[in-house]
Amino acid sequence: MSDLAFAVLRTLANGKFHSGEAMAQQLGCSRTLVWQAVHHLESEFGLTVFSVRGQGYRLPQPFALLDVASIRATLDEYAANVFTLALAEQIDSSNTQLMTRAAQGAPHGLVLAAERQTAGRGRLGRRWQMRLGAGLTFSLLWRFERGLSGLAGLSLAVGIAMVRALREFGAPVSLKWPNDVLLDGRKLAGILIELSGDALGPAAVVIGIGLNVANPGEVDQPVANLADAGIKVGRNELMAALLNQLAQVLSQFDREGFIAFREEWLGLAAYLQQPVRLAFSHGQPVDGMATGVDESGALLVDTADGPRVFHVGEVSLRPQP
Ligand code: BTN
């Protein structure tokens, strides 16, 4: 039913009325199936569809679906050469899919964007959920020349690419170690990096990004979105801006590592010189003052027991309550 629901959505996307009969004819199915697909758009995808006797169905406003041609039209030359774009209407998780394709030899620079994820994943085993059309969920495959051991700090560098892109649209975003993008102190976007390869040889890295353009619907933590902050940008345009910056940052990271980005990261970081609490999946939280990051992107914290260094991994940071 999801496939048919997406087909109906493509027709309704212009915001105009479409009769059930016309859609049934166009899609080669019965009017009952069209009605069921409309119901699916409402009950499963969380969309509102107006239904008016004698006129048909209409969305409250036009719906801009992700579109490869629109994204490519805004990519700069460098990014256009680096990235190959693929779109999926509905998949479990763009990271999961791309990890599988990476293992099967998918090319460097493959980008997979999903309109809808049924099992979107966040860091630390969390879920990543988003109402249809409320944001961007995509992953990209980058094959680094440097081995896994040279990739420390990569997630912080990806955060920098996102901030650079978002600031082009006037979003006053900052970064929370290791790689949450914050707007007004709340999470706007998250990054999930998954690696395969060995310590010295070339590494395949899947970089997954979830970003709230509008209210994502019910999620399990306080989050921000661009629309509520008065920032109007289409998803295709924003995705192109992110890819433009990612192409630059990832290439430079491959050549120079995190050290090239450390100063910029420190200038964008929230909670520096502030009391923070570090929580772990196992063990007691640690309180202290965040003082910076080292040349590998590890967080430096002054604690009651002296200075400590925390590496990106099973740890999350909060301001102290
Ligand atoms: C986090 O902050 O916990 C990371 C969230 C990452 C979510 C994105 S959405 C696209 C990609 N596919 C996934 O399953 N997760 C990432």
Residue from 123, 164, 176, 235 carrying the catalytic annotation: 123
What is the mean pLDDT of the segment spanning 262-283?
94
Active site residue 72: no
**Residue ranges of domains in the chain:** 2-58, 68-267, 271-319
DSSP 182-241: EETTEEEEEEEEEEEE-SSS-EEEEEEEEEESS---S-SS-B--TGGGT----HHHHHHH
Residues with a CB atom less than 6 Å from ligand 1:
93-95, 117, 120-123, 126, 128, 137-139, 180, 190-192, 208-210
Looking at residue 148, its pLDDT comes to 82
b or e along 209-245 (b: 16 or more beta carbons within 10 Å of the residue's beta carbon)?
A: bbbbbebbeebeeebbbbeebebebebbbbbbbbbbb
Residue from 116, 176, 187, 262 carrying the catalytic annotation: 187
Inter-residue contact 202 to 143 (CB < 8 Å): yes
Same fold, 68-267 and 271-319: no
Each residue of 118-141: pLDDT tens digit?
A: 999 998 888 998 989 999 999 999
Name the residue with the closest Cα to ligand 1, atom 16: 208
Class assignment of domain 271-319?
mainly beta
Which of 66, 111, 115, 121 for a ligand 1 pocket mutation test, highest count of atoms within 8 Å of Cβ? 121
CATH fold of 2-58 reads: Arc Repressor Mutant, subunit A (1.10.10)
Q: Where are the beta strands (DSSP E) in 198-305?
A: 203-212, 275-280, 286-293, 299-303
Which of 138, 209, 316, 318 for a ligand 1 pocket mutation test, highest count of atoms within 8 Å of Cβ? 209
Active site residue 16: no
Looking at residue 319, its pLDDT comes to 85
Each residue of 135-169: pLDDT tens digit?
A: 999 999 999 988 888 898 999 999 999 999 999 99
Q: 174: pLDDT confidence band, cut at 50, 70 and 90?
A: very high
CATH fold of 68-267 reads: BirA Bifunctional Protein; domain 2 (3.30.930)
What is the mean pLDDT of the segment spanning 279-295?
92
Active site residue 123: yes
Phi, psi for 239 (deg, rounded to 5): -60, -40
